[in-house]
């Protein structure tokens, strides 16, 4: 009985030995076999966790039958799922996407494994303005009176409690005519790996929409991520705080680049846009007010994607991203990538002019794109060139989203090459996006809808936005000549004023409204319109046409620094007291 049991135990042991990931020993080398063959291989570590884009090296060790390490062994490496994890012949593994995968290794019949979990890491924004002021802001978060909120942000590298990184909270009320700003209290630092978290507390004095602000002036190129604003319930009120969706929801005031992970950012050098080399005597160079080319946002920049138009049609386009807007043009365009980028840069400056002049931003519209076969939402302001749209150009009122036809794009490119304006259709449609003043300047009554200023606004502001981006102002250019008709319309009206002309609307009404704006702009200087639109936002909602006209006059008076009501009443016959 004991002999039988012993034989059974021996058989079980041999069975287990043959199922291991090692090569089973035998009584001696067979024909053609090395005298001391490899019988086991091992990976160190055999279990680990990575983030996307993070890499590390696994160490492979092979041992012979005698237990010694076999040096010079050539291993075969393989990932069980290359969509999750990549591995090279030297053992370097890199996380690709969230999930789990197994690294398999073999040598001379022996094999081993390592189990790897890949988790989605934090996206980061790198500030590429080491010599100057930088900022990151998220607008209009509803906060409650009396509640204390904690604002925190992760910053790469060493951070101090000094003013090199500032935390603030812009308030919905003014102090001495300037927008109020709450300063953080109980400011602290805490380290977490490659990150230093800076956090501060704010007690809100009244209900309203607040805007958390992170301002920096460090002597380096810092990376930011994981922004949080939370009350006692610890719920993060920041949208896209982990920056997984690029810079959606964020406003930034300096060159900034987004990366899907800190590891990708560390591998990418800080780049400065090359200086333009074209002959500026014929073609204008796109530069910011400081003389430096505006940077791309690098989320889908340069990629070929499919764009879903306003009416549902899908078209193949190439993406050109600047700091504020994204221009999408057909793959078949005759313009070189350098020319398209220059045009995008100028349109970006026009968009910036609208932002600065109106003090408001359109609501973001989600554009659907197909990227590598996957449909994804895209929230940056898009200016797309399409086969067909609702006219020469088409733009949503109050929200982002602009389309122009291919014919307009061809004219835009030709004008650019001739050193002329960009055709002004893009800039006009921007005016539709930025028309956010109907509440104060339009009547809500259906019978008074013909009295409106939106078209005149888009025309005048579109022209000035183009000029801000370098468009010429000399007579003979198409848009300059068109603007002249607005000045002439205003002069016509002043010679024989009748407010009925404005009530009836139409082309004449548009030219009169636009002519009034141009007259005031010319008389009180370029800053007039910026002051005007900020004053408009302080007016009550118009209940009828007369109230809308009164709001216009009050805003104009505020911007001019003098009471213009007598002039509007006597010279222009506005129905104002």
Query: Which domain CATH number covers 68?
Result: 2.60.40.1080
Query: Distance (Å, rounded) from C-alpha 261 to C-alpha 359?
Result: 33
pLDDT for 477: 67
Do 527 and 558 fall into the same domain?
Answer: yes
Number of domains the chain contains: 3
Do 256 and 128 fall into the same domain?
Answer: yes
Residue spans of beta strands (DSSP E) within 128-207: 134-137, 141-143, 148-156, 165-175, 178-183, 185-192, 195-203
Do 103 and 177 fall into the same domain?
Answer: no
Do 136 and 219 fall into the same domain?
Answer: yes
Which position has the token pair 């006009």?
428
186: left (phi over 0), alpha (psi -120 to 50) or beta: left
pLDDT for 80: 95
CB 106 within 8 A of CB 96: no
Instruction: Please tell me the total number of residues recorded for the chain in this structure.
Output: 577
Query: Distance (Å, rounded) from C-alpha 383 to C-alpha 238?
Result: 27
Q: How far is CA 106 from CA 22, 38, 56, 58, in A?
A: 10, 10, 19, 14
Supply 555's token pair.
Answer: 């805003």
Domain annotation covers residue 72: yes
Which position has the token pair 């308030």?
171
Do 144 and 77 fall into the same domain?
Answer: no
Do 559 and 464 fall into the same domain?
Answer: yes
Supply 439's token pair.
Answer: 């509440």
Q: SS3 for 340?
A: helix
Q: Which of 235, 267, 299 is the last residue of a domain?
A: 267
Supply 200's token pair.
Answer: 């501060």
327 φ, ψ to 5°? -100, 130
pLDDT for 243: 87
Query: Distance (Å, rounded) from C-alpha 313 to C-alpha 431?
Result: 25
Supply 108's token pair.
Answer: 């001379």
- Burial tier of 81 (Cβ tally within 10 Å: 0-12, 13-18, 19+): middle
Q: Which of 267, 294, 313 is the last residue of a domain?
A: 267
Do 131 and 260 fall into the same domain?
Answer: yes
Do 161 and 111 fall into the same domain?
Answer: no
pLDDT for 36: 74
Domain that holds residue 44: 37-120
Opening angle at CA 571, ends 570 and 573, nearest 5: 65
- Burial tier of 21 (Cβ tally within 10 Å: 0-12, 13-18, 19+): middle
Beta bridge partners, 370, equal 306, 375
Neighbouring C-beta atoms of residue 288, cutoff 10 Å? 15
Query: Distance (Å, rounded) from C-alpha 20 to C-alpha 24?
Result: 8
Domain annotation covers residue 110: yes
**Percent of the chain that is helix, strand, coil (3-state, to 5):** 30, 30, 40
CB 528 within 8 A of CB 520: yes
Do 205 and 106 fall into the same domain?
Answer: no
Query: Which domain CATH number covers 261?
Result: 2.60.120
pLDDT for 531: 95
Domain annotation covers residue 156: yes
pLDDT for 75: 93
Query: Distance (Å, rounded) from C-alpha 404 to C-alpha 440?
Result: 29
pLDDT for 472: 77
Domain annotation covers residue 413: no
Q: SS3 for 140?
A: coil
Do 251 and 131 fall into the same domain?
Answer: yes
CB 412 within 8 A of CB 429: no
Do 133 and 249 fall into the same domain?
Answer: yes
Domain annotation covers residue 535: yes
CB 406 within 8 A of CB 385: yes
Query: Distance (Å, rounded) from C-alpha 52 to C-alpha 97?
Result: 6
Show Cβ contacts of residue 195 under 8 Å, excluding neighbours closer than 6 positions: 154, 155, 156, 225, 226
Domain annotation covers residue 144: yes
Residue spans of beta strands (DSSP E) within 354-503: 367-371, 374-378, 382-386, 393-395, 402-405
Of the candidates 379, 434, 149, the one whose C-alpha atom is nearest the C-alpha of residue 249 is 379
pLDDT for 5: 35
Supply 348's token pair.
Answer: 């970006």
Domain annotation covers residue 366: no
pLDDT for 177: 46
Strands 326-330 and 382-386, sheet pairing:
parallel
Supply 362's token pair.
Answer: 């359109």
Do 461 and 544 fall into the same domain?
Answer: yes
Per-residue pLDDT tens, the chain, 577 aa: give them: 333 333 333 333 333 333 334 444 444 444 545 567 888 999 999 999 998 888 899 999 999 888 888 888 999 999 999 999 999 999 999 999 999 999 999 998 899 999 999 998 888 888 765 444 566 778 779 999 999 999 999 988 777 766 567 888 888 876 554 457 788 899 999 888 778 899 999 999 999 889 898 877 554 667 889 999 999 999 999 988 988 877 767 765 555 678 888 888 777 776 543 333 333 333 444 543 333 333 445 578 999 999 999 989 999 999 999 989 999 999 999 999 999 999 999 999 999 999 999 999 999 899 999 999 999 999 899 999 999 888 788 999 999 999 999 999 998 998 888 777 666 799 999 999 999 999 999 999 988 887 889 989 999 999 999 888 888 777 666 677 778 778 877 887 888 888 988 887 666 788 889 999 999 999 999 899 999 999 999 999 999 999 999 999 999 999 999 999 999 999 999 999 9
Q: Which of 267, 287, 310 is the last residue of a domain?
A: 267
Show Cβ contacts of residue 179 under 8 Å, excluding neighbours closer than 6 positions: 170, 171, 173
Query: Distance (Å, rounded) from C-alpha 242 to C-alpha 256?
Result: 16
Cross-sheet strand order for the sheet of 55-57 = 55-57, 92-95, 85-87
Show Cβ contacts of residue 335 under 8 Å, excluding neighbours closer than 6 positions: 329, 343, 413
Domain annotation covers residue 44: yes
Which position has the token pair 């408009």?
536
């Amino acid at each position: 009985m004991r002999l039988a049991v012993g034989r059974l135990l021996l058989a079980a042991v041999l069975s287990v030995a043959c199922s291991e990931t090692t090569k089973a020993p035998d009584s001696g080398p067979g024909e053609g076999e090395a005298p001391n063959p490899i019988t086991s291989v091992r990976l160190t570590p055999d279990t680990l966790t990575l983030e996307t884009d993070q890499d590390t090296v696994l160490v492979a060790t092979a041992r012979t039958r005698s237990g010694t390490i076999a040096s010079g062994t050539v291993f075969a490496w393989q990932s069980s799922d290359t969509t999750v994890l990549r591995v090279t012949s030297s053992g370097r593994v890199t996380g690709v996407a969230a999930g789990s995968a197994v690294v398999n290794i073999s040598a001379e019949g022996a094999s081993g494994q390592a189990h790897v979990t890949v988790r989605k890491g934090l996206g980061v924004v790198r500030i590429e303005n080491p010599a100057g002021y930088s900022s990151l802001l998220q607008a209009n978060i509803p906060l409650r009176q009396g509640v204390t909120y904690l604002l925190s942000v992760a910053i790469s590298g060493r951070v101090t409690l000094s003013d090199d990184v500032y935390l603030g909270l812009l308030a919905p009320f003014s102090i001495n005519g300037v927008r109020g700003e709450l300063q953080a209290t109980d400011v602290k630092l805490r380290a977490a790996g490659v990150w230093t978290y800076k956090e501060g507390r704010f007690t809100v004095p009244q209900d309203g929409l607040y805007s958390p602000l992170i301002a920096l002036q460090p002597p380096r190129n810092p990376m930011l991520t994981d922004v949080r604003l939370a009350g006692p319930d610890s719920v993060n009120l920041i949208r896209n705080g982990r920056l997984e969706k690029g810079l959606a929801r964020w406003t930034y005031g300096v060159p900034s680049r987004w990366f899907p992970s800190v590891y990708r950012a560390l591998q990418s050098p800080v780049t400065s846009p090359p200086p333009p080399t074209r002959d500026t005597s014929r073609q204008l160079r796109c530069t910011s007010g400081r003389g430096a080319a505006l940077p791309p946002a690098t989320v889908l920049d340069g990629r070929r994607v499919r764009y879903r138009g306003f009416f549902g049609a899908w078209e193949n386009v190439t993406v050109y991203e600047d700091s504020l807007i994204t221009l999408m043009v057909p793959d078949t365009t005759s313009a070189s990538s350098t020319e398209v980028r220059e045009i995008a840069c100028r349109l970006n400056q026009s968009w910036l002019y609208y932002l600065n002049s109106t003090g408001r931003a359109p609501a973001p519209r989600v554009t659907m794109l197909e990227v590598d076969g996957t449909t994804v939402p895209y929230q940056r302001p898009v200016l797309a060139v399409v086969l067909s749209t609702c006219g020469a150009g088409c733009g949503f009122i109050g929200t982002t989203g602009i389309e122009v036809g291919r014919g307009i794009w061809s004219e835009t490119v030709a004008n650019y090459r001739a050193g002329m304006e960009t055709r002004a259709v893009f800039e006009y449609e921007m005016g539709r996006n930025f028309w956010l003043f109907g509440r104060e300047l339009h009547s809500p009554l259906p019978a008074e809808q013909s009295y409106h200023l939106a078209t005149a606004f888009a025309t005048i502001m579109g022209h000035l936005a183009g000029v801000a981006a370098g468009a010429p102002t000399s007579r003979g250019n198409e848009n300059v000549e068109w603007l002249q008709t607005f000045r002439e319309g205003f002069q016509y009206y002043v010679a024989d004023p009748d407010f009925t002309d404005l009530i009836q609307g139409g082309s004449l009404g548009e030219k009169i409204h636009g002519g009034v704006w141009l007259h005031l702009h010319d008389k009180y200087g370029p800053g007039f319109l910026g002051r005007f639109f900020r004053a408009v936002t302080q007016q009550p909602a118009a209940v009828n046409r007369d109230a809308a006209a009164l709001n216009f006059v009050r805003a104009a008076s505020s911007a001019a620094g003098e009471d213009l009501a007598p002039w509007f009443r006597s010279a222009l016959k506005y129905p104002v007291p």
